[in-house]
Chain A
Amino acid sequence: MTGLLWVTWRQHRAVVSWTTVLVLVVVLFSPDLIDWAFRNAFGAVVAVFWGAPLVAREFEERTYLVAWGQDVSPARWLAVKCGLLGSAAVVLAALLDVRQIGFTLFGFALGVVAGFVTRRTVPAIAFTLVGYVLVRWLFAGETSVWLFESSVLCGVFGAVLIPVAFVLLSWRTNAFRMGVA
């Protein structure tokens, strides 16, 4: 587990660090007028920069052959990566606004699924962005008070998408693996 912790950090340290900086900037400095807009955008940022490239880049650069050719099974690899990055994203979302947690989880999961579907980074980002905006619009109520319910709905949807990602993973990788964890 600590091994995959290092691998996840090493691969995603740039994007996680910059997002953290961005969150701190918004929390400390953003002008009141559009503060709400920035906080609400966090889910989209996580979806586009954390979720979509996660798997899509591995396919695009063909490094999935490296990542899934080791002893650690692809399922474990994906589970730990999603767990670590998802948790970090949730923590940052909570810093901004508790109601963003649901949107963030949904965006991240959608990005990961998009990566499996498109297998290339830019199309995955497009897919994710369109899907994220569409779903949030569909779940948006009449007023801002509905935001909490909408967040919960999106969070649940995101939770449903995670197993979808694993199904797509097993579809893309061979189930045959001998003598490996």
Chain B
Amino acid sequence: MRGLLWLTWRQHRWVLCSTAVVVLLASWLLIELDLANTPGDAVPLSGFYAQLVQTAFGGLVGMFWGAPLVAREFEERTYLVAWGQDVSPERWLAGKVALLGLVAVLLAVPIGLGDGYRGHQDVSWDVFEVSPLVQAGYVLFGLAAGVLMSALVRHTLTSMGLTLALYVAVRMVMSLGARDHYLPTERVLSEVGEARQLPEGVQIVETGYLDGDGHVMGMPSECTAFVNPQNCIRTHGGAHSFVDFQPIDRLPGFQVAEFFAFTAFAAGLFFLAFLRLRRGWRPSRSHRRIAA
């Protein structure tokens, strides 16, 4: 293992150091930056770029650490050197992934602590991603996506592109769709058109109308013309307005769930990458493979 530690450092020291520098700088900015929310709907653009770091960090690790990992060995034909030694390709990859993964998780922690752009709010659904745990999950997933693409596509640029695409796709699906449903939502009913007082800080998942039987009913097309459609809806059978939401006290639990979900994805992708490596390469010194 010491040999692989040296190898990983020697091969990736530039990438590791420059990422660390960028991360430390970015996290410092994220923590120090103290933006009061601007009134109205205007998006503070510098805040957007701050948030971008937390959204993208896992993908960047995937693109720069994971995607070139195997692909570059193929492009430079150094895989013949790397895997022609006594250490098997799987062990080589396992060692590298373990070390890079560890460093990545360590770097994810300061990234996850930066909440200055939100005015240091402690508890809010807006700062879901401001969590070292969640960022660690993203970063492991990103790395796994990069490593898998790297093993499938033997071309560095293409694997970088695919890694980015996979990361964006999965993050989008999870944050727009799945994240709201880790636990069944709570529902609050009110008279049609009336707004009930909701607990503070909830994440609204869905609103709508219920008919007399308690089934969700869509907005009847005839009622869309009205400015105040309440009467129209009532005549069409609407009995209640409902709001589905997630209470704020579920936030930490959901963050843990997000971490486990992404770590599970990562494990699956790493497994596939190992499978690919095992099938796609016949070591010439298999009889001397070091026992794991």
Give the interface of A toward B (CB within 8 A): 14-15, 18, 31, 33-34, 48-49, 53, 57, 121-123, 125-126, 129-130, 133, 136-137, 140-147, 150
Which of B43-51, B89-97, B208-216 forms part of the interface with chain A?
B43-51
**A143→B161 contact, CB < 8 A:** no
Pick the residue among B42, B52, B72 that contacts A142 (CB under 8 A).
Answer: B42
A133 to B43, CA, bound (A): 17
**A143→B38 contact, CB < 8 A:** yes
A130 to B23, CA, bound (A): 11
Of the listed residues A53, A122, A123, A129, the one surrounded by the most CB atoms of chain B closer than 10 A to its CB is A122
Contacts of B27-74 to chain A: CB distance below 8 A = 38, 42-46, 48-49, 52, 60, 63-64, 68, 72
A146 to B48, CA, bound (A): 13
* A/B interface sample: 12 pairs, CB < 8 A: A15-B157, A31-B172, A49-B157, A121-B157, A122-B15, A122-B64, A123-B14, A130-B22, A140-B45, A143-B42, A143-B45, A145-B42
**Known pairs A18-B161, A140-B49, A144-B45. 12 more at Cβ < 8 A?**
A14-B158, A15-B157, A34-B172, A49-B161, A53-B157, A121-B156, A122-B64, A126-B64, A136-B49, A142-B44, A143-B44, A146-B45
A53-B157, A122-B156, A126-B18 known; A34+B176 contact, CB < 8 A: yes
A123 to B45, CA, bound (A): 27
**B49→A143 contact, CB < 8 A:** no
- Chain A residues with CB below 8 A from B130, complex form: none
B160 at interface, CB cutoff 8 A? yes
**A31→B176 contact, CB < 8 A:** yes
| Residue on A nearest B52 in the bound complex, by CB | A133
- Chain A residues with CB below 8 A from B63, complex form: 125
- Chain B residues with CB below 8 A from A34, complex form: 172, 176
A130 to chain B, nearest CB (A): 7
**A142→B45 contact, CB < 8 A:** yes
A143 to B42, CA, bound (A): 5
- Chain B residues with CB below 8 A from A130, complex form: 22
| Residue on B nearest A61 in the bound complex, by CB | B75
Contacts of B250-287 to chain A: CB distance below 8 A = none
| Residue on B nearest A147 in the bound complex, by CB | B45
A142 to B45, CA, bound (A): 6
A143 to B60, CA, bound (A): 26
- Chain B residues with CB below 8 A from A142, complex form: 38, 42, 44-46
A123 to B43, CA, bound (A): 32
| Residue on A nearest B45 in the bound complex, by CB | A140
- Chain A residues with CB below 8 A from B161, complex form: 18, 49
| Residue on A nearest B157 in the bound complex, by CB | A53
- Chain B residues with CB below 8 A from A145, complex form: 42
Pick the residue among B68, B72, B160, B176 that contacts A33 (CB under 8 A).
Answer: B176
**A143→B22 contact, CB < 8 A:** no
B102 to chain A, nearest CB (A): 21
Lowest 8 CB-CB distances: which A-B pairs, in order?
A: A140-B45, A143-B42, A137-B49, A144-B43, A140-B46, A122-B68, A53-B157, A141-B45
B13 to chain A, nearest CB (A): 13
